[in-house]
Each structure stands twice: as C-alpha cells, then as structure tokens.
Amino acid sequence: MSQQQFKTMPCPECGAPIPMSIEILLAGQAIHCPNPYCDVAMNVDQNRSRQAIDEVRKLKTALDNFEDTKRKLA
Amino acid sequence: MVFTNSEYTEIYQFISAPIIAVLNAEMLATRASADFIQQVGFQKEEGAELNDFGEVLTVSFVYQKPGTQQRLQLQIPLLSLIPIPMLQVKEAEFEFGLSLLRRRNQQTRIDPQDGAIRLPGGVDDFSATLTSESLRSTNTMNVKLKVAQSDLPAGLGRLLHLLENAIDQAPESP
C-alpha cells in the first residue's frame, strides 16, 4: 500500500471531494476545500481524535519501516 | 518443495502444491486486511468478544461555517479517510521441469535414491526427474509472483458506504 494513495471526504458545505491522506491527517494544518467558491477550512480536533490519530501514526510508522526495508532489499 | 516421506507421490500433488501455496497466501492476505480493518477502524473495549468489533473510530474535524460565526464539528469514520490494504496475487508463475526417462510398469512415486518422480502414463508408466540444473542442485523452484491492490470487495464497499453515511455534523461542543 502506498502512503501516497489519496482518499477523499466530501466538503460539509459544498460536497466537493477534499483529498485526504495519512500525511494530511498527521500534518495538523488546516484542510481547505478545493472548490474555489467555497471557503471552508477544517482542522483536526486533536483532543477528540487522539485515539484515531494515534492509530494513523502507528500505521505511518509501519509503512515507513516497510518502505525502508524495501529500499534496503532493492 | 519438500516431499513427504511417503514413497509414493501422485504427479498432481507435485503440480498442485505451489497452487495451494498461492491460495493459502491469498487467504492470509485477506485475513491481514480484515485484521487491519478491525484494529485501525474500530475501538475495541478490553475483554470484548472476538467478533465484537466495538465502536467505530472517528476523526473529529472543526470548521467555521462560511459567512457566520458558527463553529461546527464533523465526526468522520477513520476507515473512510485512509487507504485500506487489499492485496491480491495477480499472477503466479512456477518454473520447474520434468523429463520423462523411461517406461516403467509401476505406480507414480518418488525414488528416495535419486529423487526421480515416477509418472503414470496409462497402461505403461513413465519415470521422470527434475531437469533444470539449478533445481537439481538446490532443490528449489523458480517462483514469480505479481501482487497488486485488489478491487474493493462488494461487502467492504457496502461497509464503507455505511460508514460514510455515519458522518455526524453538529455544533462544536465545548
């Protein structure tokens, strides 16, 4: 599984697909709706999402280790 | 490939062994995907039963509704936000050779002395042995596998659809 694979979530205001990835979830930065006519910027609520973010972080570590091993074997 | 101690081995067992290995690998990959879904997507309580996945794990987003001062909170299931690994063996190629040596009137079997495989050939039987030099010297089989992300199974697609419908929006609570 590539870490670069993107999924999307619908913008809560206009419904436009907002790209989502492990990196975006962990970045802790505002996520903007790509629709130029929509002004929504969302932030991950770190407190309420602590457990989910911990899982994502563990997943990222596992994927990074896998990529490292793959590079070493290549 | 390791043959059993049994003196007699059917040729179909020799050929089917790697195919069964691929099927087993697919089964393990599917189980790993199911484990991933359970571990990453759900919040299992301690002491819960094996089949009890527990509560759906969600990511909470907050945003300000455009044109207002109202701050809203959005709960989205984690599984609908990250890629789910669903691996599948797309192609499998096994390379080994069999060479017919001589006709024999006996059952299919592996000779414990020289490793030759005795093949049944109708009324008259044949004996055979592995031909590749590398196979003969190392007793290995060349295996090529192509593994790729599989299409989303219909059931999992339905689960994700249910999760997406479970997106919860409410005014931000303090």
The beta-strand segments (E) located in A1-74 are: 7-10, 17-20, 31-32, 41-44
Q: What amino acid occupies position B30?
A: T
* Higher per-residue pLDDT: B68 or B108: B68
Q: Best interface-test mutation with A: which of B60, B62, B80, B164 has the largest number of A CBs within 10 A?
A: B60
Summarised one tens digit per residue, pLDDT across range B83-130 is 888 888 888 988 876 655 444 445 556 667 766 665 554 434 445 555
Torsion of CA B98, B99, B104, B110, to 10 degrees: -40
Summarised one tens digit per residue, pLDDT across range B29-60 is 989 988 898 888 888 777 777 777 888 899 99
How much is the pTM?
Answer: 0.68
ipTM: 0.86
Residue A64 near chain B (CB below 8 Å): no
Q: Best interface-test mutation with A: which of B45, B63, B73, B167 has the largest number of A CBs within 10 A?
A: B63
Residues 10-39 of A with CB under 8 A from B: 10, 12-13, 20-22, 25, 31, 38-39
pLDDT surpassing 50 at residue A32: yes
Cα-to-chain-centroid distance, residue B64: 44
Q: Nearest-CA distance from A8 to chain B in Å? A: 7
Chain A: residue nearest B71 by CA? A42
Q: Which of B43, B59, B169 sits opposite A12 (nearest CB)?
A: B169
Q: Are A53 and B59 in contact (CB under 8 A)?
A: yes
